[in-house]
A and B are shown apart, each in its own frame.
Chain A
Amino acid sequence: MPPKTMFEKIWDSHVVSAEPGKPTVLYVDLHLVHEVTSAQAFDGLRMAGRKVRRTDLTVATVDHNVPTWDRALPVTDEISKKQLDAMKRNAEEFGITFFDIRSAQQGIVHVIGPELGYTQPGKLIVCGDSHTSTHGAFGAFAMPIGTTQVEHVLATQCLVQSGIKSMEIRVNDRLPRGVTAKDLILGIIGQIGVDGGIGYVVEYTGEAVRSLSMAGRITVCNMSIEAGARAGMIAPDETTFEYLRGRPQVPQGKDYDAIVQQWRQLPSDPGATYDKVVEIDANALAPFVTWGTNPGMVASVVDKVPDPASFATDTERAATERALKYMGLEPNIPIQEIKLDRVFIGSCTNSRIEDLRAAAEIVKGRKAHPDIYAMVVPGSTTVKREAEEEGLDVIFKEAGFDWREAGCSMCLGMNPDILQPGERCASTSNRNFEGRQGPGGRTHLVSPQMAAAAAIAGHFVDIRDWE
């Protein structure tokens, strides 16, 4: 047999139907559902008199719309409440597992999948959310889908796909001290561009990737979509197996040993070829800060805001000018002189217990800068509980940070956590698009460590110099 990539192995084992001239029909092992992209899909099922084909492979929660204030308080936004109620009603009517707003396991769909062990190597996972690529960190093929496809998967448990190419991004050597998984992925997007991954499933390989924790791998795969990729994935290894051992949905005892044996077959075979290979030197990476309005507009913390005149084409110059105007930044000012109003630590990119520990280590015994309002939003109610058991909440609260309930929060501006027009925020989230964190808000993407240090200093600082 010719050598196969991990992606090819997973693809091949999920083919339900492959006919010439038609897209391939693939079987879905896990369908994650949330309130924002599912209401119209369930409506479609109802109108056609269809059922959810596999309620046992479908799991729902609420995350995008939920306020992160005290869970005992009501949801005051009537339209949000309508959407949250619709999710609950649909989950009950169609009989699918649902982690409601008051559930002990509620959280961002991409945080609870891995932490409850639903996300496993070799699975084909879909969700009506672009950051579904997150789950590829476990050696799964995890793809985002639109609402019509959500309806399609609910009705058929299948995904219709075609024409996917593969790309290897090989990260050689190790990440220097102070350079995190977030910086790695921002560096990659800066290099290949926000459309560099269009049409590709990206497999991240190399020493720097192998030495990342699961939380780090999750951050990298999560932002694959920001490079335009269809999905990102990392081969499972001992780090993966250890993370999954004992999680609620993972087989236990002998069954665990047996499934690990299957998972060991997944990594790409020696000699397997990719349609494209990109090499990255981990040593050359630094802590990164985005300065513009897409995640590819990124600079090292020791650099300056670029000058539009330095770009080669009219289109790039115009895009840079537009971005700087929106961001309220002058060309050529040092990144570390950018003063901030807000700091957000959270989102499906960086809200896991490891992220909160890393931020707390920076914050411990210090106070937030008086000009800064900083908030920490755990990715799930489970993460929040763990953090509180470790006393991280106390560290943040003593430093003057706001400690919140779990949800998507200020990553996307569709719940009460938003920036005011003109406010500037250091954010551990994934998108710095115009208005992403609220109309007129200005977002700079950074790692949890960089965000925490910025909250103390009031401006960006090089975390490598942090005492």
Chain B
Amino acid sequence: MEPFVKVTGIVAPLDRVNVDTDQIIPALYLKRIEKTGFGEFLFNAWRKLPDGSPNPDFELNNPAYNGSTILVTRRNFGSGSSREHAVWALHDYGFRTVIAPSFANIFHKNCFENGLAPVILPEDVIADIMAKAKAANGYKLTVDLEAQEIYDEQGLSVSFVVHAEPEVNEFRRYCLLNGLDEIGLTLQIEDKIAAYEASRWGKSFTPARNAPLEARP
């Protein structure tokens, strides 16, 4: 996984609450069996008119946001379906970080798995950034994960977290900064997994192993 350390870039605004993953990437486009190529379909129903041409009313189609790497939005971003394709689509489109007051749980976790930094800031700071981004004049921010600080050239400088729980925030930040793969981390404790398995069956709360069942008629 690509480490996330510090990103400076144009901020694109998406001034909506509860943006669900069906909007981020509609189900119709989930059929690829690769992790790449989803950016083309990011916010597909909002970005494009029924005839496939760009919808001029949709924020991201404003040329001022071309090449933006930072998305600022409202609370409960990424709600609904667990599709990791939503994160792949945002990343593939070019976003490196999403800034919001809160994220839906599964989307939030999926961000960490793919090096997309989920920046959590209070509503009033979001409102300030949203207003500046909406001016569509090339407004830029810097997200410095090492310093846990976000700042712009107009004097904004605030600290942020990527997770509301301090201990989890520290761990997730460490993993993002170093591009760590969770599978590798867990396999380091393979002995503990084996020990758990050995002790497990026969103890209380032990579910039965799956019995053989003919899967085909």
Contact = CB atoms under 8 A, between A and B. Distances in A.
B138 interface: no
A431 B33 contact: no
Contact of A23 (B33, B168, B203, B216): B168
Nearest to A326: B45
Nearest to A119: B207
B128 interface: no
A27 interface: yes
Interface in A277-315: 294, 315
B102 A122 contact: no
Contacts of A172: none
Contact of B28 (A43, A144, A265, A414): A414
Interface in B89-103: 102
B33 A37 contact: no
Contact of B193 (A16, A40, A146, A266): A16
Contacts of B5: none
A39 B33 contact: yes
B192 A198 contact: no
Contact of B105 (A156, A198, A412, A414): A198
Question: Among A20, A146, A148, A228, which residue has the most Cβ atoms of chain B within 10 A?
Answer: A146
Interface of A: 9-10, 13, 16-17, 20-23, 25, 27, 29-30, 36-37, 39-40, 43-44, 48, 50, 53, 56-57, 59, 64-65, 77, 79-80, 82-83, 86, 97-100, 102-105, 116, 118, 120, 122-123, 128-130, 132, 144-149, 151-152, 155-158, 160, 162-163, 194-195, 198-199, 225-226, 228, 230, 248-251, 255, 259, 262, 265-266, 294, 315-316, 318-319, 322, 412-414, 421, 431, 433-436, 439-440
B68 interface: no
A122 B207 contact: yes
Given A99-B215, A158-B193, 4 more contacts: A27-B196, A120-B208, A152-B186, A265-B205
User: For A56, A130, A250, A259, which residue has the most chain B Cβ atoms within 10 angstroms?
Assistant: A130
Contacts of A225: 80
A319 B210 CA distance: 46
Contacts of B197: 27, 157
B140 interface: no
B28 A413 contact: yes
A85 B135 CA distance: 48
Given A40-B33, A163-B163, A431-B22, A250 B187 contact: no
Contact of A146 (B106, B164, B189, B190): B106
Contact of A144 (B22, B31, B106, B189): B106
Given A148-B113, A262-B205, A414-B28, A157 B193 contact: yes
B187 A155 contact: yes
A104 B45 contact: no
29 contacts: A23-B168, A25-B193, A27-B196, A27-B197, A29-B207, A40-B35, A53-B193, A57-B210, A97-B213, A97-B215, A98-B215, A128-B84, A130-B106, A145-B109, A146-B83, A146-B106, A151-B183, A158-B186, A162-B168, A195-B102, A230-B105, A249-B210, A259-B208, A262-B205, A412-B22, A413-B27, A413-B28, A435-B26, A439-B26
Contacts of B106: 130, 144-146
8 smallest beta-carbon distances between A and B, as pairs = A148-B113, A39-B33, A414-B27, A195-B76, A146-B84, A163-B165, A146-B110, A130-B82
Nearest to A59: B210
Contacts of A77: 31
Q: Which among A27, A80, A255 has the greatest number of chain B C-beta atoms within 10 A?
A: A27
Contacts of A40: 33-35, 84
A156 B217 CA distance: 31
